[in-house]
Structure 1
Amino acid sequence: MGWVAVCRSSTVVVMLVVLASCSSRPAPASVAPRDASTPSATSSASPSPSPLALDLPTIDSYTSIGDSFASGPALGKIRDDSGFCLRSDHNWASILATTLGTRTVDDVSCAGATTADVLSSHTVPGMVVPAQLDAVRATTDLVTVQIGGNDGGLFSSLVSACAQGSGTCSTFADDTAPAILRVSTDRVARVLDAVHTKAPKARVLVVGYLRILPDTGTCKAVQISASDARAAASAEVGLDSALASAARSGRAEYVSLRALSKGHDACAGDNAWTNGATVADGEGIAYHPRLAGMAAVAQAVAQHLSTTPR
């Protein structure tokens, strides 16, 4: 998911670009792993949160559902089993699983995924990608869900309307985006219902999206005008609210990243957790999380698990 959405029609091109830019850096640290005495250093150039000592629950089986904000294209090494889903060994679910000491991890997040791809299989060049829901079992202890940004073409449409200077950004953000988000809210809630059906004892968390844009203003990094940036930022707020509503309807917990990532948007320079239009080698793809952003999300989810009663 992101401003430059990973669409199925362009997956081959995106994958070639991503694989060309991959590196094999060590995974970044987030929260202190269970029983670890000292945290490892982060490989991200931008600052990530300091590791925290948390009282973490025992999670034996964990499933991560999501789109490219979860899978992490072009962050470190793309996992051999991910195919066109472009799952990184640096994504936040991988960091979280290490932190929790989880024995069984099913990361089925997939670049370009929508809620439909969670519930049903879909075809990409040369392969069939199973429904992400297939990885959820009756014995699963934890399911995280980061999905919804690609539904209805929300973010790909924002690219066309806002980042390309078409002059239609405000109209899209004010009129079209709210309609898309109303539908997306119901779709995410249906995903959550399906997860509960397959894993009735699992703890289910909906995880929001990191900021791409600041609340006000713009910058060269995002290549969006000030007026369009305001409109696009309002769509980000709308998505956060929609996911919170879906979590309530779907009997799940919501981990919002809006407050956490304030001051770490793509305009934050060395403090940025998301990319703008250009990307440093190994730091992901445009308008998506950087290494430090993935570490921050993992820490936020771990802290939620530690401090929020079920």
Structure 2
Amino acid sequence: MRTRAVIAATALLMIVAGCSSDPTTDSPRASGTSQTPTAAAPAPRPSSYVALGDSFTAGPGIDPLQAGSGYCGRSQDNWPTRVADSLDLTLTDVSCSGATTADLASTVRSGALSTGPGLVTVSAGGNDGGLFLSLIRSCTAGSDACGSFVKQQVPPILKQTTTDVVSLLDAVRSAAPDARVVLVGYPRLMPADGTCDAVGIAAGDVATVVSAEEALDTALASAAEQADVPYVSARDASTGHDACAGDQAWTNGASPGTGDGIFFHPNRRGMAAVASLVEAAAKG
């Protein structure tokens, strides 16, 4: 069981290492007065939408992929595409597998928001400091490595991540002052307790991974609060939909189904679920 997880983690490292670190390189796409007071006109509905994010947004491995997405691996069935379709928005998807918060900040500086979008979603932090990859690698190697990484390295990584995500959100609001900006978190990978063959990690180490997942969610919630933007946390909603949940799982374990996402990443069900959460937040 552990051998399969180690192989999966190694394959995931190869996938992400091969991804572009610059999401911009292969991105798509009354006069007069009245004596009678009138009701204020409703705010105009946004017509365009820019999605910034990493592989949990892009959806690598979920067939079919968007034309021209290259190593970013953007799926035609990822949650930004579903949100755009549901809300009738014109989408520019610049999410990219392997992207860090710094990469997304570079994307913003490159002019990705120059079209004046009405909605911008941001999902970042999982790749900062090699968080997700290091977490999976160390926690498939054994308790000592897992506990050491989470206790010693995760706190400083998340402290910096919080600062960087706040800066990114500030940059987004500066570049798109009229947009509704929403920060989106990550769905659960691990079950609340216990383990299963799908994740191939010892129960004690699963609990350690869960503590890191919770810490990341808390860090992102803090960043959203500091930047004064709404935060969509997927943790509560994904309870019972972790990689051990079988037909109800929103994320894959070590052995994903063909064409339905990569190791320890969202599958098609997860993309649909996160899209529903984001749609509600986008409507304000």
**Could you state the TM-score of these two structures normalised by the residue count of structure 2?**
0.84
Question: 1:210 Cα shift?
Answer: 0.5
Conserved 8 A contact 1:6-1:68: no
The match for 2:162 is 185
Moved more, 257-266 or 152-161: 152-161
- 1:89 partner amino acid: Q
The match for 1:62 is 49
2:140 to 145, 150, 163: 163
The match for 2:187 is 210
CA distance in 1, matches of 2:86, 2:145: 44
2:122 to 104, 127, 145: 145
2:275 to 298, 304, 309: 298
CA distance in 2, matches of 1:250, 1:6: 34
Q: Deviations over 1:177-231 (max 9, x none)?
A: 1111010000011100100110111110000001000111111100100111000
The match for 1:267 is 244
The match for 2:33 is none
Q: How does 1:111-150 map to 2 (within 5 A)?
A: 111-120=97-106, 134-137=111-114, 139-150=116-127
Consecutive unaligned residues of structure 2, counting only runs of 5 or more, are: 1-7, 21-43
2:229 pairs with 1:252: yes
Q: How does 1:45-84 map to 2 (within 5 A)?
A: 58-84=45-71
The match for 2:92 is 106
- 1:92 partner amino acid: W
SS at 1:156 equivalent: helix
CA distance in 2, matches of 1:168, 1:84: 30
Moved more, 160-169 or 251-260: 160-169
Q: If each structure's helix is expressed as a fraction of its own residues, which one has the higher value?
A: 2
CA distance in 1, matches of 2:252, 2:140: 14
Conserved 8 A contact 1:160-1:166: no
CA distance in 1, matches of 2:183, 2:205: 28
Question: 1:281 Cα shift?
Answer: 1.0
TM-align CA RMSD: 2.0
2:18 to 10, 24, 42: 10
CA distance in 2, matches of 1:9, 1:276: 19
Q: How does 1:277-288 map to 2 (within 5 A)?
A: 277-288=254-265
Aligned length: 252
Conserved 8 A contact 1:138-1:201: no
SS at 2:169 equivalent: helix
Describe the shift of the 1:131–1:209 C-alpha distance in structure 2 as closer, same or farther (beyond 3 A).
same
Describe the shift of the 1:301–1:9 C-alpha distance in structure 2 as closer, same or farther (beyond 3 A).
closer
Describe the shift of the 1:139–1:9 C-alpha distance in structure 2 as closer, same or farther (beyond 3 A).
closer
Question: 1:159 Cα shift?
Answer: 1.8
Describe the shift of the 1:251–1:6 C-alpha distance in structure 2 as closer, same or farther (beyond 3 A).
farther
**Could you state the TM-score of these two structures normalised by the residue count of structure 1?**
0.77
